[in-house]
Amino acid sequence: MKTVLKDSEQITQLFSHLEFDGKKLNHQPGSVLGSTALIAGTTVGAGILALPAVTMPSGIVPSTSGLIAVWLYALVSALLVADVTLNTMRTEGRASIGFLGVVEKILGKLGARMAGGAYLFMHYALLVAYITQGGEILADAAAKIGGVQILPTWVGTTTFTLLLGGIMYLGREKFIEKLNSAFVGIVIVSFLGLLFLGGRHIQSAQLLFQNWSALGSAISVMSVALFFQNVVPLVVTQLEGDVRKIRQSIFIGSVIPLIMFLAWNAVILGSVSSDMVHGASGDKTVFNPLQILRTGGGGEWLGVLVSIFSEFAIATSFIGFVYGLLDLFKDIFFTQGKFSSRLPLYSLALFPPMALGTLNPSIFFTALDYTGTFSISVLGGIIPALMSWKQRQKQENSDSINQSLAPGGKVTLILMIGVALAMIGRQILSIY
């Protein structure tokens, strides 16, 4: 491992990626562009679909402010994760380490179990949300194509899970990678089409509506949509511990999804008129403007694009989270990923969320809400702050070099923990 120091004695690069081609060693550094794409791709997932439903009660201006505030929180959290990852790699002499590995090194087995539990809950809850919403869209599309009035919700949920899960189980890794890339391409094209068509349907009255008191209920879903901290250790590894490149990738990679979310939120909220709202069924717990647009409320082509974007955004997120859950189970059960061991792992990853989604098809927004409140608050707020606090305290009592990317010192850490605890407390009080 190589360490390069500036005059300030801060670490700028921890190691180099070297490959031997038979004659010499070649340096293969990661790129800022690649790491930025990784962060942006991780962030832009199915969480974007829930935004209009939870931000509509507050309006465009308040929800825009809320999204920016949540992004700032996520940005600081990611920088804290990069901090502790860099310092852990240096002190342990390792060229790479995962998020849960960093937690265990700093907070011990108890902290690792706490993080692992939150990580498992987050994956299961989000898979439940994706399966229910993806199944609903699939069932609606099948009903329209087949000329059927309506299909049972369990048909869409089961079909979506078995179809996509079966492709992942049977397909080779390279094929799934190409399939996912194709899905991402469809998501990008349909998203641009949505912005173009939706922008022509914006109602001026919707732009002026503001209800700041309703903003608090949207924060948890915003936190889910902007969560990417779990891939930060991988970015640190890819960029060889180069502080400047890491900071650039985290900032740019998170700003791109923020801009997309802001544009998406404004276009969708602006496209849903008050007549559509009053014409919607009043017995729903959450009014979903995307559902209105999918059924043709904003025009036939806009409805088709909303359905395409929604389904493929869910599919890309589904693939990523199934793989994340499989990796977690492999670590827990010490399997080697052989063919004979894949069926029980896939069954454990797919069948529990499918069963829950079938029993409660309306759980999409509830799953996202609880995920944002508990899992993201723990993984994106409390744990990064506690790790940084403990690491800095340890380094203050030694001659170690402390690498710091996040500003504000202990005041920042206190604010991070305070906000996370406030979110959890608010959710607990809402239950009673």
d(CA 111, CA 117): 10
Q: Please, where are the H alpha helices in 200-218?
A: 204-208
Give the Cβ contact number of residue 149 at 10 Å. 7
Q: Which amino acid is at 402?
A: N
Distance of alpha carbon 222 from alpha carbon 7, whole angstroms:
41
Q: Highest-confidence range of 135-144, 225-234, 255-264, by mean pLDDT?
A: 255-264
Helices first, then strands: H and E counts in the chain: 18, 4
Greater pLDDT, 203 or 279: 203
Would you mind telling me the total number of residues written for the chain in this entry?
432
- Average pLDDT taken over every residue of the chain: 79
DSSP 15: -
Query: Which CB contacts under 8 angstroms, 24+ apart, belong to 147-154?
Result: 153/358, 153/361, 154/358, 154/361
The values of phi and psi at residue 332, to 5°, are -70, -45
CA quadruple 46, 49, 53, 54: dihedral sign: positive
% pLDDT > 70, the chain: 80
pLDDT of residue 337: 46
Q: Is the pLDDT of residue 280 over 50?
A: no
Of the candidate CATH numbers 1.20.1740.10, 3.40.640.10, 3.40.50.10190, 2.40.50.180, the domain formed by 4-431 belongs to 1.20.1740.10
pLDDT score for 401:
55
Residue 13 per-residue DSSP state: E
For residue 258, the model assigns a pLDDT of 93
Phi, psi of 140 (to 5 degrees): -60, -45
Beta carbons of 252 and 71 less than 8 angstroms apart = no
- What does pTM read for this prediction? 0.79
pLDDT mean over 361-390: 84
Q: What is the pLDDT of residues 109-150, one digit of tens each?
A: 888 888 888 888 888 888 888 898 888 888 887 777 766 666
Q: Looking at per-residue confidence, does 169 or 329 come out higher? A: 169
Query: Do 243 and 87 form a contact (C-beta atoms < 8 A)?
Result: no
- Identity of the residue numbered 199: G
pLDDT interval class at 29 (50, 70, 90):
low
* 100-133 core/surface letters (b: 16 or more CB in 10 A; e: else): bbbbbbbbeeebbebbbebbebbbbbbbbbbbbb
pLDDT in tens, 314-340: 888 888 888 878 877 776 665 444 445
Residue with tokens 């390069």: 4
8-state DSSP, 399: S
| Most confident region among 199-208, 320-329, 399-408 by mean pLDDT | 320-329
Residue whose tokens read 């790790």: 387
Say if residue 429 is exposed, middle or buried (CB neighbours under 10 Å; 0-12, 13-18, 19+): exposed
Cα–Cα distance, 157 to 361 (Å, whole number): 8
